[in-house]
Structures are given as C-alpha cells and as structure tokens.
Amino acid sequence: MSETVNQTNPSFGKLIRKAVQSFGLPRLIIAGFLLLLFILAPFVNADLPMQITNTINRFSWNAVLVLAMVPMVHSGCGLNFGLPLGIVAGLLGGTLSIELGFRGPASFFISILIATPFALLFGGGYGWLLNRIKGGEMMIATYVGFSSVSFMCMMWLLLPYHSPNMVWGLSGKGLRTTISLEGYYDKALANFLQINIGKLSIPVGTLLFFAVLAFGMWAFLHTKTGTAMTAVGSNPTFARAAGINVDRIRLLSVIMSTWLGAVGILVYEQGFGFIQLYNAPFYMALPAVSAILIGGASVNKASIMNVIIGTFLFQGIVTMTPTVMNNMIHMDMSEVIRMIASNGMILYALTRKTEVRR
Amino acid sequence: MSVKTVPAKGAGKSIGSFLAGNSVPIMFILICAVCIPVSGFSFTYLLNEIMSRLGRNAFLILSLLIPIMAGMGLNFGMTLGAMAGEIALIFVSDWQIWGIPGMVLAMIISVPFSVLLGLFCGKILNMAKGREMITSYIISFFINGVYQLIVLYMMGPIIPISHSSIKLPRGYGIRNTVSLLNMRQSLDNAVSFRIAGVKIPVITLLIIVCMCLLIIWFRRTKLGQDMRAVGQDMQVAKDAGIDVERTRIISIVISTVLAGLGMIIYLQNMGNLSTYSSHSQVGMFCIAALLVGGASVDKASIGNVFLGVILFHTMFIVAPNAGTKITGDSMIGEYFRVFVSYGVITVALVMYETKKRRAKAGNGRQLQLEQEAIK
C-alpha cells in the first residue's frame, strides 16, 4: 500500500529511504567507509595511486573466487561455504603442473587443464551430497570444505611429489607450506598487456580473464539451462512442475561453482606469486562470501554486478584500512575491522527473510 | 508394500538399525582399538590423561545440551561464552586474585558478559530460524572480531589493565598468552586422590555431576518442557501458548553462561590462556566430542557427553603417536585428528539432514495414504 503512495507522491526523503532500503544499510555503511578512506588517504600522506593500484590488483586476484559463488546461489544451494573444495582441486592442478615440469606462463593454463577433472569429480560428489540434504546446504558445505582441507593436509605430506622446488629440502618429501611460483605461472596473466601510467599499474590480462569468465557466466545464465537454474533457485516446486530436473540443475551449478573455485585459486596464486598449502584454504570461503554479499547479493539472488561491486568494495577496504589507519593513529586495526565488517555482512544476509523455505 | 517387508526383516533389522544409529561411536571404538596398541602408551598414562580431559571438557560439552533440546541444533555460539570466560579470567589475573577465590570471582564476572552475549546471539538466531547452526557459526566469528577489538586495543587505554605481565610491551592490549600458573589445577587438586596411579579430581567431577543433575532436573521444569515443545514443533508450541522466541533466547543464554563457566574450569586445568586462540578451537572440539558420543543435531543425552569425551579424547591422545609409528611422520597424526573431528561433524550433519528429509517425505506419504483411505 505504501508502495503506491510512494509512486504517486515521490517526495525526496521517501525516495532516499527507499533507495537505502533496497541497497541495504550495512552495504551503505561499508561503501561510505571506503569512500571516507579514499578521501582521508591524501591527508594522512598515504600514497593514493599506489593504494589504487593495490586495490585493483587485489580485485583481479579475488574476483574469480567471488564469481564462484554465483551458480550455487542461483540454483538455491545458498552461499558456497564449501569453496575450499574447489580450491583444493585448483591446488592439485597447480602442484601437479609444477611436478610434471611445465614452466612459464603456459603452465597456468596447463594447471587449469589438470585441475578441471578434479574439480568435476569433487564437484560431482559434493553436488550429489547437497542434493540429498536440501535445506541444510550451508552448514554442511562449511564442513565439507573443512574436511576436504584437513584431509588434503595429510595428502600434501603423503602424495609422492618429487619436484625439488616444492618438497622440503631435508627429507626430500612432503610439500612445503608455501611454494614460490617464480619461473612457473607467477604473474602469468598480470604481465599480459599490463598498463603503467606513472605509479598506477593495471593488470589488464587478469582483468580480461575475469571479464571473459564473467561474460561466460552472464551468457550462460541467459541460456535455457541458465534460466532453468534461476527458476530452480527461486521456486523449486514451480520448477519441478515446469518439467525441470531440479537435482540435475543443482548438480550442474555445484560443479560449476567448484570449477570456478579451482580456477579462482589459480588466478589468485598467479597474482600473489605463491601457492599456499595446508591450513591456508581453511578460511578462504568467508572473504569471498562476504564480498558477494557486500556487492548486493542475498542468500538466493546474485548477479555479475554484485560480484564486481562487492569484490571492489571488499578488497578496497582490505587494502586501504591498514595504510590509512597506520598513518592516522599508528595502530593497525585492519584485521579486526575486516573481521567485524565481513562477518557482520554475512550475518545480515543470513537474517534477511528472503529464502523460501523448502 | 512396506507392511510385507517389515516382519521378514525382523531380527536382522534391529541389529542393523542399532549399527546405523550408533555408527559414529562404533567407528571411533574401532579407531581407538587400532591406535591404542600402536601408540605404545601405558594403560595408566592413558587413564590419567582421559580422567584429566574428562574434568577439563565435560562441563563445556554439557553446555551444548540445552539448545539441542530447544531444537536449535549444535550451538556453535558457545564460543561466545568461552570468550566471556576468558575476559573474566583476564580481569582476575590482572587483579592478582588466584586459586579458588580467583576462579569463583572469574565465574561471577563472566556471567553478565555471557548473559549479554547470549541475548545478542538468541535475538539474531530468532531472526534466522531454520538456519540456526550456520548463523551461530558466523556469530562466533563476528564476536571473535569484537573480542579482539576489546582485548587487543581497548584493554589498556579504555579498560584499565594495570599489571604489566599480561600487557603487550607496546602499552596496550593483552599478551598472546596469559599465565594462569597460580591458578593451575587449583580446583582439580583441592581434593584429589589416586587410585592405581590415576588422579581423581574430586571437586571438578562433583561439579560436573551436579551440573548433570541440574540438567536432568531442568528438563522436568515448566521451562524445560516448554523448550522440548519448541524443539518438537515451533508452530504447535506457539498455539499452545508458549512464547517461542523468549524460550529460544533463554536456552541460548543458559548455554552461553554454562560455556563461560566451563571455559574457566577448562583453563584452570590447562594453566595458561592463549588469549587469541583458546576459544576458537574449543567450540569445534566440544561439538565433535558430543557427536562422537552418539548425539545427533536434534537429540543428545548426558550419556553421549561422557562417552564422547572418553572416545574422542582417547583418539586425540593416541593419534599423533600412532600416526608417527605408522607413517614415520609426526605431522600426519596431528592432521589426522583434525580431519577426524571435522569429518565426524560433517557425517553427523549429513545423517541428520537426510533423516529429516526422509521423515518429511514419510509424513507426506502418510498423509496421502490417509486421504486415499477417506476416499
């Protein structure tokens, strides 16, 4: 009813209130906070071009991991807290490509190629599991992620890797916790078509790679299968009545998410320059989840735009807070702020009454 | 169709369903049975360790029972109580009050913090009905951020901390470890004796037994009955005139307070407080232990708590050594026990969800049959 009043008599205050409501208060706070950081930066002698470069760089590393959330949200599987499973597939691809002796930027694509069967296999099993426990996906996804990471902790020690660049020097077996990618696919995408304007440098290659994947995702969501996926997510009963095989679509979405997770970690590694094993992937799902939520997604709705805005805002805060805070009050509170902001955002999304309970 | 098959299966089914219903404890008994001889620990040593860990953890795990009763699943938010307990201990050790008086004081201080956090957690969980577990899990992360903000930045400049032994050298914030050496096992050693070399911490065990009795009594009270009703079916409970939201909040508050007290008992046994990591592990290990004892997301008894502590911690003690003996690498066992803890929680969650779905499908079929009968 108030809706019609608004439309017939759109006073400015109401318009703003409506905009805030649709945008969400926490999102507004976070966007405002980032804006404030950017404004403050020059006053506290922070190097602004450097900060912007860092933000763009970090955006390019993380965007694909955030994109991996989209298919599962669309098919109604909720936020993919099981992202570490995809990451494990990516890590297997990366380490195996090094083990097999591939070098240079080409090894990046070889890694993706090797990671793909693992991602399909893991994603298939994971999707099958999630189809059996509809309604409880998010909690179980979290623990599937944790179990897979802790299982791989043992595997990194036990699998017969031999490449001297990866194993512990003394015992000659068991992978190191961090492996340098120098000579392998370090900056494989970032150095491609890199633009440098003064202090500003933009990793066009990585951004292009993300753009291709994002466009692919957008195009896919507009195909027949993609529309079916959205239908399954918004109303599974209706979708079933329309003759869509709900379980198959959900399985497909989980496999896509897992594969994107695998590719995402490889993109992250090529930017970061290191492979991080063992406990590193444990909490990698949370930043990605909160990023897409900050971008405006909810538990059952997400678009490519949400991914881009969210990743930019999240990574902007992650890069800007430490420098600005440090220069301002000589105290590094960034870690704490990041924890509160990102988890607060997830909490906010979880408490919205958006999802149709099955 | 189903009517015909039931009598045919008969006896075989009861053993099968017993095995299926208790698959997690049975799996753990098998793991322990393999690992104990391999690890090469003496029997006395093992018993001593288990007894010590029983006193240390049982109270914490008991705090999980009440939310399960109220149908809110595993309370990952028990970490909140643990943090309240830690803040209380930081204050007490700053004031240099040690021994049992220090513990009692810490327990008293922890209660208001726990109640506040519990109220917060309960309110939010009421807004997220149907996904309490993931929400309480994220709440624990969120509050962990707030806790770090308080302990790392506010303690010193805003909240007075006088003693330099617990303050960071930079002048504010608390050190990574706060030594509770003067409080170490003061409760366990207050009255204790040894049976065949095994130390029995009488007072700690007495407190735990009292807590069990309290929980048994609580189940019979009006509030306890209300909680069970809410756990069974929120709609029905509401129709019966129970204030569902309030009942759920109370169950979380009780759980948080108990977790706070349990954390203080836990830390007096450990003898030092890892300011930034003690609480984060505690939630996972307690939940895993409870599940190992045969509990599920919607059903847990006091027996599950004790069986769980014994089995889970036996595995925890023997796994590193057994792992080293079998594979020759000391880290394997460490990773193995972490993997098993996560794995157990995963399996228990999956079993619970599939059971719930099957029950729902069963209800639908029942309804269909009834309607056909009416026709």
Domain membership flag for residue A41: yes
DSSP conformational letter for B155: B
Instruction: State the Cα–Cα distance between residues B161 and B92, nearest whole angstrom.
Output: 11
Using the predicted structure, report yes or no on whether residue B4 has a pLDDT greater than 60.
Answer: no
Residue of B nearest to A150 (CA): B339
Q: Do B28 and B258 touch, CB atoms closer than 8 A?
A: no
What pLDDT does residue A358 have? Answer: 38
CB contact under 8 A, B134 and A139: yes
3-state secondary structure of A270: helix
* B79 compared with B355, residue with greater pLDDT: B79
Give the residue extent of every domain in chain B.
Answer: 2-374
In angstroms, the separation between the Cα of residue B345 and the nearest Cα of chain A is 7
- Contact (CB<8Å) A339/B353: no
Separation in Å, CA of B356 to nearest CA in chain A: 9
Task: Report, in this order, helix, strand and coil percent for chain B, each rounded to 5.
Answer: 75, 5, 20
Amino acid at B76: F
Using alpha carbons, list the distances in angstroms from residue B198 to A339, B37, B208.
Answer: 44, 20, 18
Closest residue to A336, CB basis, from B131, B149, B338: B149
In a domain, A29, yes or no: no
Q: How confident is the model at residue A31 (pLDDT cuts 50, 70, 90)?
A: confident
pLDDT at B145: 92
Tell whether the torsion through CA atoms of A155, A157, A162 and A165 is positive or negative: positive
Q: Stretch A133-140: mean pLDDT, rounded?
A: 84
Domain with residue A63: its CATH number is 1.10.3470
CATH 1.10.260 fits B2-374, yes or no: no
Establish if A20 belongs to a structural domain: no
- Domains held by chain A: number: 1
Mean pLDDT of all residues in A169-193: 81
- Residue contact B346–A150, C-beta within 8 A: no
Q: Among A59, A72, A60, A62, which Cα is nearest to A258's?
A: A72
| pTM across the whole model | 0.85
Render A195-259 in DSSP notation, one character per residue.
Answer: EEETTEEE-HHHHHHHHHHHHHHHHHHTSHHHHHHHHHHH-HHHHHHTT--HHHHHHHHHHHHHH
Lowest mean pLDDT among A30-34, A191-195, B334-338: A191-195
Q: Is residue A276 within a helix (H) or strand (E), and if so which, with residue range?
A: strand A274-276
> Among B145, B331, B345, whose Cβ lies nearest the Cβ of A339?
B145
Which pLDDT belongs to residue A252? 92
Does any domain span residue A28? no
Q: Give the per-residue pLDDT at B30.
A: 87
- Mean pLDDT value of segment A282-306: 86
B345 vs B119 pLDDT, higher one: B119
Q: Tell me the per-residue pLDDT of B230-273, one tens digit each, with 9 for 90 and over.
A: 988 888 999 988 899 999 999 999 999 999 999 999 999 888 88
- Of chain A, the percentage scoring pLDDT greater than 90 comes to 25
Comparing A246 with A23, which gets the higher pLDDT? A246
B71 contacts: CB under 8 Å, gap ≥ 6: B230, B231, B232, B234, B298
Provide the pLDDT confidence category of residue A3 given band limits of 50, 70 and 90: very low
Is the pLDDT reported for residue A19 higher than 80?
no
The CA-CA-CA angle for residues A56, A60, A61, to 5°, reads 120
pLDDT on residue A93: 92
**Residues within 8 A of A (CB atoms), B 244-263 only:** none
The domain in which residue A164 lies consists of 36-351
Interface test with A, best of B117, B131, B133, B287 (most A CBs within 10 A): B131
pLDDT tens digits for range A93-121: 999 998 888 888 888 899 999 999 999 99
Residue of A313 and A7 predicted with greater confidence: A313
Q: Is B361 on the interface with A (CB under 8 A)?
A: no
Q: For position B12, what pLDDT does the model report? A: 56
A285-294 helix and A83-99 helix, angle to the nearest 10 degrees: 120
CB-CB contact of A248 with A256 (8 Å): no
Reported as a pLDDT band with limits 50, 70 and 90, residue A9 is: low
Predicted pLDDT of residue B292: 87
The pLDDT tens digits for B279-328 are: 888 888 899 899 888 888 888 899 999 999 999 888 888 888 888 888 77
Q: Give me the pLDDT at residue B214, please.
A: 94
A81 contacts in chain B (CB < 8 Å): 134
Residue A15 belongs to some domain of the structure: no
Q: Quick one: pLDDT at residue B375? A: 62
Chain A CB contacts of B332 under 8 Å are 154, 157-158
Instruction: Tell me the percentage of chain A whose pLDDT exceeds 70.
Output: 94
Assembly ipTM: 0.82
Reference B65, options B348, B353, B371, B302; nearest CA is B302
Mean pLDDT of A143-167: 87
Domain contains A191: yes
Say whether pLDDT at A136 is over 60.
yes
Q: Measured between CB atoms, which of A139, A343, A347 is closest to B133?
A: A139
Read off the pLDDT of each residue in A8-19 and give the average, rounded to a whole number: 68
